[in-house]
């Protein structure tokens, strides 16, 4: 399967008339590491978690404010399923991503729309959001309107919680 790389993400955004600002930085793998380099980036900083249902092939990309922890029990109750973090093979096969580069931009690689996008309401309503463009040496900042335009360009199911 061909996966979209960083340059392809930018082409996709351009094609869909989605504006963004680029910030370059060293490799970062955690929210804590990224916080050293995101002082100039406006808006809410996010964490992106790829989880799956334990027995089936249901996948979820959960986007939360960076400072919040995922309450897996809450999500299990919401979806009435037992959940766990997806492994690196699932991440690579479905979203074309590696650990440390997880973001909603990986959803353009999900050609079978296996992944449901779960966005925290604070993130969805933030004036600005920022994510890695499928590589962890850059961050793209998008306005709320441009983020919504991107999410709406996808065919994955969306839930705001």
Return the CATH number at 71: 3.90.960.10
Q: How confident is the model over 94-136, as pLDDT tens digits?
A: 998 887 778 999 999 998 999 999 999 999 999 999 988 877 7
Q: What span, in angstroms and rounded, lies between the C-alpha atoms of 27 and 29?
A: 7
102 belongs to a structural domain:
yes
Q: What contacts 24+ positions apart, CB below 8 Å, involve 120-123?
A: 120/62, 120/63, 120/64, 120/65, 120/68, 120/160, 120/161, 121/160, 121/161, 122/44, 122/65, 123/44, 123/46, 123/63, 123/64, 123/65
Model pTM?
0.89
1 belongs to a structural domain:
no
- Can you tell me whether residue 11 is helix, strand or coil? helix
Among residues of the chain, what percentage have pLDDT more than 70?
91
Structural domains counted in the chain: 1
Q: Which domain holds residue 111?
A: 6-160
Strand partners, 138: 24
């Amino acid at each position: 399967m061909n996966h979209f790389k960083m340059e392809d993400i930018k082409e996709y955004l351009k094609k869909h008339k989605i504006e963004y600002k680029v910030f370059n930085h060293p490799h970062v793998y955690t929210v804590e590491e990224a916080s050293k380099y995101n002082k100039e980036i406006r808006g809410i900083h996010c964490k992106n978690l790829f989880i799956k249902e334990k027995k089936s092939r249901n996948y979820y990309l959960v986007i939360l404010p960076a400072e919040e922890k995922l309450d897996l029990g809450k999500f299990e109750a919401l979806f009435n399923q037992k959940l766990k973090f997806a492994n690196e093979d699932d991440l690579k096969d479905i979203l074309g991503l590696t650990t440390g580069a997880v973001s909603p931009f990986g959803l353009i690689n999900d050609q079978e729309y296996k992944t449901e996008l779960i966005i925290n309401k604070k993130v969805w309503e933030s004036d600005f959001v920022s994510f890695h463009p499928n590589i962890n040496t850059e961050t793209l900042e998008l306005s709320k309107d441009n983020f919504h335009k991107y999410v709406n360009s996808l065919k994955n199911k969306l839930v705001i919680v």
